[in-house]
Amino acid sequence: MVKMNEEPEAYWREHAGPKWVRARHAVDHIVSPITEHLLAVADAQPGERVIDIGCGCGTTTVAFANQVGPQGHVLGVDVSDPMLEVTRDAGTDLPQLDVALADAGSHSFTPDAHLLASRFGVMFFPDPPAAFANLRTALAPGGRTAFICWQPIQRNPWISYIMRAFPEAAPSMPDPDAGPGPFSLSDPDSTRELLTTSGFNDVVVEAFETKVSLGDTAAQALEAMTEVGGFSRMLAEAESDAQRVQLNERATEFLDNEYRDGVPKLDAAVWVLRARA
């Protein structure tokens, strides 16, 4: 296990990790159609060895472990110990599931994986060329990848949906060239070139578009958005408890109106990155 840069390690241990642990059920609900597509594309087979990059709270790790069965092996890799603890607990009855607290961009892998997979875990490397070249070393000859990453934020209106309740708030549009972040791989051409120059073969970048919901009820949607996205940042930056109460009241009123005629279905778009060793 490598020693990680202390600043990202502290961030994922003390701030982001606990937040994503709290939000894991809501996030799994939102991205469930995307998760199902990843599992279908990855097509893990009984007896295969799988590495789940940026496995987080282990939803995909457990799914892969069930697919490969007791004769296979799945390693979930993440830099967030709070999230890995959830994965460890979920895999208690799956002896074929292991986890590693490590930076997948520099971890020393054994080159025997049949499949490298990731659900939104490959967009946060400080040095993407070096990281993807390192991931390439984990694959056995003929091994394959199935990575999911976000298309541009403009193609994902679900992310800013609740911010319609706050038209006075200036929208923040992330710059994919600004460094690690959810949209750092949103340009398909540069991402294809990144994988190719990192040593992968037969690189394919495919679009997948679907509909998602923030929750089955307005209350569930509000609970999810208080943990992730722009509304959660507004709450964190509020100057007082009274202001947070006002923000919640406005968001609640907006969502109650939106859910009046049923659960809103919102557009979501990702890239599926497939390649071979």
pLDDT tens digits along 223-265: 999 988 889 999 999 999 999 999 999 999 999 999 999 999 9
Cα 74 from chain centroid?
Answer: 18
Structural domain that includes position 43:
6-156+175-214+265-276
Is 242 inside a domain boundary?
no
- The string of pLDDT tens digits covering residues 86-97 is 999 999 999 999
Is 31 inside a domain boundary?
yes
Give the pLDDT band (50/70/90) at residue 5. Answer: very low
Number of domains in the chain: 1
Is 147 inside a domain boundary?
yes
Q: What CA–CA distance (Å, rounded) separates 248 from 235? A: 8
Interval 132-147 mean pLDDT: 98
Instruction: Say yes or no to pLDDT of 125 above 60.
Output: yes
CATH assignment at residue 196: 3.40.50.150
- The string of pLDDT tens digits covering residues 161-191 is 999 999 988 666 666 666 789 999 999 999 9
Helix crossing, 32-42 with 59-68: angle to 10°? 30
What percent helix, strand, coil does the chain show, rounded to 5? 45, 20, 35
pTM comes to 0.93
Cα Rg of the chain, angstroms: 19
Percent of the chain topping pLDDT 90:
87
Is 222 inside a domain boundary?
no
pLDDT of residue 229: 86
Q: H or E segment at 24?
A: helix 17-30
Give the pLDDT band (50/70/90) at residue 38. Answer: very high
Helix crossing, 218-225 with 17-30: angle to 10°? 150
Length, in residues, of the chain: 277
Q: What CA–CA distance (Å, rounded) separates 75 from 40? A: 19
Give the pLDDT band (50/70/90) at residue 12. Answer: confident
C-beta neighbour count of 201 within 10 angstroms: 12
Is 243 inside a domain boundary?
no
Is 221 inside a domain boundary?
no
Is 138 inside a domain boundary?
yes
Is 206 inside a domain boundary?
yes
